Structure 1
Amino acid sequence: MKKRVLSGLLMMMDAAMINIAVVIAFYIRFDGAFSGRFAGQYIPIYTDNLLTFTLIKIALFYAFGMYQNLWKYASIEAVFQIMIAAFVANTGVVSYMVLTQQGHLPRSIYLLMFILDMLLVGGIRFSYRATRGLREHGFIRRKNCKRVMIVGAGTAGAVVIKELKIHDNLNYKPVAVIDDDESKLGSKINGVPVLGDRYHIKKVAEMKQVDEIIIAIPSGFRQELKEIVEECSKTKCKLKILPGIGELIDGKVSMKKARDVEIEDLLGRDAINIDLEEISEYLHNQVVLITGGGGSIGSELCRQIATFNPKKLLILDNYENNAYDIQNELRRKYPELNLEVLIASVRERDRIEEIFGQYLPEVIFHAAAHKHVPLMEANPQEAIKNNIFGTKNVAECADQFGAKRFVLISTDKAVNPTNIMGATKRVAEMLIQSIDLTSKTEFVAVRFGNVLGSNGSVIPLFKRQIAEGGPVTVTHPEVTRYFMTIPEAVQLVIQAGSMASGGEIFVLDMGEPVKIIDLARNLIRLSGMEPDVDMDIKVVGLRPGEKLYEELLMDEEGLESTKHDKIFVGKPFFTDLKFLERELDILSDLLLLRDQEEVKEYMVKIVPTYHRETS
């Protein structure tokens, strides 16, 4: 509707310009003597055909698309379009006069009409473009527009600047460009000056009163992006980052696709390479069971495994809401996927046996576990029931029903544990290592640290505390953890599963350890605030069972590299299944007594590396 109104308005303006052009042509041709003898004989010819002239030209302008174009983007191509349309329109008028034999106008009048049509009709269109250009270059200021700094003076940066200038509705004004290439310093990208490298970001942001920074380096390495984000975080500007270079190649770059910078961008790791062929060999056309399939790791396992076309994907979870969510997502994205959701607890041996007997899963990813350290310290019996006896049920059923491969999702907290959760996960590792000795099923564990954004992790907690106005709480200024994104961790888990020969504990390269207090500070900066100035950080003390530092490998395990540069393998060293079964029988009896201290004390006997004292 709006477009029709604008086209109608433009037609009326053109009608006026067409006739103004005739009047000016007469004025020029007859030196302003409209009432003279020569002018007097031609003016009636024009006035008699005024409406016809106008309709012919408007009709031909319309035929040449003069009312379909978006003239705010007028360019050199539009100039040629106007020239051709004006020439054809005036030729149409001359042809009409010849065919109808209504007399004739001087040839100079037709020539002047052609020239003036181009100037006046084209002028209307380019006046709007010129006004926009003045506004873009600061001669006409837009109200309440955000002043933007672009990091990256390459193709992506140029595209961003051009788009910001074209689209008024974005309400952005690019005022500065940052680039590490010294040869670009002092030059201009689409009219915006390059004012320094990444180490000038804070200074330029203050000098130019920047409100927002857009990082436009879609092909950059993660470490480079990390360093740039850290420099940007020293300002109080809101940060956005451009999508990948693939969208640039397809011409799909849009500021609407630019996202906020997330804490994951500060990890500084490049994309993980995985062997799709090797993974496909052990997942394609197989019945795959994922326990804890509705959780953070389990649901991501479901997403990634679904792409390898399993014969059947079984999602087992005790919590129906999470299972329901991932079920709906997978059915929407993969309508051909043979998917079934099973509500069950790994604690219930009969139910697990029933599931294995009915579906005969060939590959099992065991992600069902209680993982929250403080909660499990207060409820050790529940951690033992779920993490130890639940694992025992699933692993023994995998052996009993002839599964090909069993992958246990473990944790760095299983190494020299100082809490009951870590101790139970170590027992789970011991279980699958010992069962592997006599089983045809290949049992392996994959051990990694914290994953960003998982349920109950520190990042969502910090975000919630920041949203509530603080303070942000950390347990100790020296607490250090390994971090990885959920998709990264799951990619490596699936890859490690393809390498299994039985009994290994695969250890993922988690990158450099990160201080939790540094994560808190970075999150506060990404929220546009200054730590300890705009937002307090409060140290609340270590929680029961919490370590200052996490480890990924025990001394006895050794460490060997694999063909994947981010996956290492620790050799199995626990193989005494009879001892473990005897001790677990005693532990099962102790659970009935409901004595938390006695249960924890007995766990030390099973896991000699378990140190109950907080270190």
Structure 2
Amino acid sequence: MAITLGFDTAAAAVSMAVALVTRWLMTGGAPPDSFFGGIVTTAIFAGVGFVSFYMLGVHKQVWRHSGWRDAVRIVQAVGLATLFFLPLVFLWNRLVGVPRTAIVIAVIIWLTIIFSGRMVALWRSTQRPLQIFFSRARPDAPMVLLIAQSEEAARIDSLMGKDEKGAKVRILGLLEPEGAEFGRKIRGIPVLGGLEDLSKVLDLLTLRYEKTPLVAVAGIARERHYMTQVLEVAASRKTEVMSLGAAADQTSASMLPVRAADLLRRRERELDVEPVADMIEGMRVFVTGGGGTIGSELARQCASMNPQSLTLFDSSEYNLYEADLSLREQFPNLPINSELGDVRDVARVTRAIEQFEPDIIIHAAALKHVPLMEQNVCEAILTNVGGALITAKAAQTSSVQKFVFVSTDKAVHPDNVMGATKRLAELTVTRQAVSSNFSVSMVRFGNVLGSSGSVVPLFERQIAKGGPVTLTHPEVTRYFMTVEEASALVLQSATHNGSPGSASLYVLDMGEPVRIKALAEAMIRLKGLVPGQDIEIRTTGLRPGEKMHEKLTYNHEEVNVIGIEGIYKVASKQVVANDFDEKLDELLDHARHRRRDEAIKMLAELVPEYRPRRAAE
């Protein structure tokens, strides 16, 4: 702040000195005794500049975040300094030796120096120096208290959508989650404190404007531990929480309601997409389960990396249609093949792989809903185990170079059929890799936010109906990850393993497990409601096959870093039985003939950690 005030004061002195000399030269020379008078005049001008800039808080501005509010305040400060200057110089020597036009010239030079300094700093920061003069809020814009770091706040303010009436959001103040600098101004927005001041600041703003402003979060403020605090305070004040963010092209920003995914957001990883792009570009990619939540996102990310062709294979006509439509809209020049088929159908899978000759197969097809799979054991075995086996065998007869298998954390110490079948699929695909010409990459991760049938859309429906929100147990925890991050890390892991005939297992860094009750409470607060008062939370008891807590690895597995953030390689010491293949065939035969009890018994033999009747831990 002292440097800023010193610069502006020095600019005032230089401006007046240059103005006096310029004016004297224009009139044929300086009058007698003008040197001393010029020094005094310059000192007075600099002094009133110092006082007026300090009084109006111009020195609190952060140059690289300058905006229209700062420009207005600078003009006001220069005007105030001029009003102070005239009577003071008149009292000193009745303006003798001070040309009137010199004052005008000094003001013009002073403003030029001040704005030039800000615009250079702004240009170095954003490459958009003229934005200092724009983005004024329109009169009917909603009032917002922004929670973000200063850099993000400046970027959002500069990008906020505006029309002929001005910007569509009026930001009243800024709270910084980390390292708040109270009293500073970011593009004219005052820093009112840190996140711990939210309650107090909301009350003060409500008093001042006779209305509680919206609370908007941006950048790191959308992370889980910050969002929990924000929602608790906002719900108690019955105000909405919004999310402010820049568009993908970084040319605009918008304010949207906070989604459930924002409640579980972690600090975003900086992923190196170049190795993935090198792996995908020019390749023929084949995605089973391509219409599902994970499969369609994997397909979308692959499509963005210029493959030679992309084939979606799915048994759901509706899901396949939706994924196909979305991809064709986003990538109109990409050859896309959408094939309706079941991974349990040997002939259909083999024919599709022979027809499209993929270089990379991503096997995301699976039945995943735990309670349903407890009731449909044979279907889970045929799809999750049989489908993986059929796809891997079909890949052996083609030109496939990489086989990516999407697994789950429920494969670890499984208490349910779904987890046991996915664990058996891991072992099955690993055995198939040995006799193949492709490399296998298997990836385990937890729950994907917003996927079909997951807890988040269930809670949203229950809250919309006015409750109750149902929990199986108040202490249940789960790992969560956005579908975008999970898919990106799955593709990243595939770049690490490249040896033909080998199989590697990876786990994703899922962060800290989330208490489902805490998630339910946060989602209720998201609607401006109070858990337990406005919406009842009801405990229903653990369902068949459900565990209290999930794990990502077995005790006998060793976890190693591989140099890619968020991904770990798992080394297993487990050895499968010599008669594994025979028992696997027997299991699939039981499943095909719907011999449920025999199938469960054989599944437990093939996956020793699976205990069908074991109580949830």
The aligned amino acid for 1:244 is: A
Residue aligned with 2:344, SS: coil
Asked whether the 8 Å contact 1:202–1:234 carries over to 2, the reply is: no
Residue aligned with 1:538, SS: strand
Deviation digits for residues 77-126 of structure 1, max 9, x if unmatched? xx9xxxxxxxxxxxxxxxxxxxxxxxxxxxxxxxxxxxxxxxxxxxxxxx
TM superposition shift of 1:556? 1.9
Asked whether the 8 Å contact 2:180–2:191 carries over to 1, the reply is: no
Query: Using a 3 Å threshold, how does the CA distance of structure 1 residues 164 and 423 change in structure 2: closer, same or farther?
Result: closer
The aligned amino acid for 1:324 is: Y
Does residue 148 (structure 1) correspond to residue 155 (structure 2)? The answer is no
Partner residue of 1:288? 285
Deviation digits for residues 222-243 of structure 1, max 9, x if unmatched? 4785466456555432111221
TM superposition shift of 1:245? 9.1
Identify which of 415, 420, 424 aligns with 1:418: 415
TM superposition shift of 1:173? 6.4
Partner residue of 2:552? 552
- CA distance in 1 between counterparts of 2:413 and 2:593 reads 27
Query: Using a 3 Å threshold, how does the CA distance of structure 1 residues 442 and 578 change in structure 2: closer, same or farther?
Result: farther
TM superposition shift of 1:347? 0.5
Query: Using a 3 Å threshold, how does the CA distance of structure 1 residues 164 and 184 change in structure 2: closer, same or farther?
Result: farther
Asked whether the 8 Å contact 2:148–2:219 carries over to 1, the reply is: no
- CA distance in 2 between counterparts of 1:372 and 1:360 reads 32
- CA distance in 2 between counterparts of 1:590 and 1:452 reads 34
The aligned amino acid for 1:297 is: I
TM superposition shift of 1:530? 1.1
Partner residue of 2:214? 213
Partner residue of 1:394? 391
TM superposition shift of 1:605? 0.9
Deviation digits for residues 246-291 of structure 1, max 9, x if unmatched? 877x5x34xxx11222233333422223332321232211111100
TM superposition shift of 1:207? 4.4
TM superposition shift of 1:146? 5.6
Partner residue of 2:182? 185
Query: Using a 3 Å threshold, how does the CA distance of structure 1 residues 530 and 588 change in structure 2: closer, same or farther?
Result: same
Asked whether the 8 Å contact 2:557–2:570 carries over to 1, the reply is: yes
Query: Using a 3 Å threshold, how does the CA distance of structure 1 residues 152 and 567 change in structure 2: closer, same or farther?
Result: closer
- CA distance in 2 between counterparts of 1:365 and 1:476 reads 35
Does residue 382 (structure 1) correspond to residue 379 (structure 2)? The answer is yes
Query: Using a 3 Å threshold, how does the CA distance of structure 1 residues 158 and 365 change in structure 2: closer, same or farther?
Result: closer
Count of aligned pairs between the two proteins: 476
The aligned amino acid for 1:533 is: Q
Partner residue of 1:275? 272
The correspondence of residues 184-263 of structure 1 with structure 2, limited to 5 A, is 185=182, 194-209=191-206, 211-215=212-216, 217-218=218-219, 222=223, 226=227, 229-230=230-231, 232-233=233-234, 235=236, 236-244=238-246, 250=251, 252-253=252-253, 257-263=254-260
Partner residue of 2:541? 541
Larger Cα Rg: Structure 1 or Structure 2? Answer: 1
TM superposition shift of 1:591? 2.5
Deviation digits for residues 2-23 of structure 1, max 9, x if unmatched? xxxxxxxxxxxxxxxxxxxxxx
Query: Using a 3 Å threshold, how does the CA distance of structure 1 residues 294 and 577 change in structure 2: closer, same or farther?
Result: farther
TM superposition shift of 1:191? 7.9
Partner residue of 1:266? 263
- CA distance in 2 between counterparts of 1:522 and 1:221 reads 13
Asked whether the 8 Å contact 2:288–2:313 carries over to 1, the reply is: yes
Query: Using a 3 Å threshold, how does the CA distance of structure 1 residues 608 and 463 change in structure 2: closer, same or farther?
Result: same
Identify which of 305, 319, 326 aligns with 1:308: 305
TM superposition shift of 1:490? 0.1
Q: What's the TM-score once normalised by structure 1's chain length?
A: 0.70
Asked whether the 8 Å contact 1:151–1:213 carries over to 2, the reply is: no
Query: Using a 3 Å threshold, how does the CA distance of structure 1 residues 578 and 290 change in structure 2: closer, same or farther?
Result: farther
- CA distance in 2 between counterparts of 1:181 and 1:293 reads 41
Deviation digits for residues 195-236 of structure 1, max 9, x if unmatched? 442112123324443544343644768478546645655543
Identity of aligned residues (%): 36
**Greater alpha carbon shift after TM alignment, 147-156 vs 306-315:** 147-156
Deviation digits for residues 356-387 of structure 1, max 9, x if unmatched? 22222111000000000000001101101100
The aligned amino acid for 1:558 is: E
- CA distance in 2 between counterparts of 1:299 and 1:165 reads 34
Residue ranges of structure 2 left out of the alignment (5+ in a row): 1-68, 76-136
The aligned amino acid for 2:504 is: E
Residue ranges of structure 1 left out of the alignment (5+ in a row): 1-72, 80-135
- CA distance in 2 between counterparts of 1:308 and 1:182 reads 38
TM superposition shift of 1:479? 0.6
- CA distance in 1 between counterparts of 2:308 and 2:428 reads 28
The aligned amino acid for 1:527 is: K
Query: Using a 3 Å threshold, how does the CA distance of structure 1 residues 212 and 419 change in structure 2: closer, same or farther?
Result: farther
Query: Using a 3 Å threshold, how does the CA distance of structure 1 residues 460 and 246 change in structure 2: closer, same or farther?
Result: closer
Asked whether the 8 Å contact 1:225–1:265 carries over to 2, the reply is: no
Query: Using a 3 Å threshold, how does the CA distance of structure 1 residues 302 and 579 change in structure 2: closer, same or farther?
Result: same
**Greater alpha carbon shift after TM alignment, 289-298 vs 557-566:** 557-566
Deviation digits for residues 491-529 of structure 1, max 9, x if unmatched? 000011111242211110001111111111111111111
Query: Using a 3 Å threshold, how does the CA distance of structure 1 residues 575 and 357 change in structure 2: closer, same or farther?
Result: farther
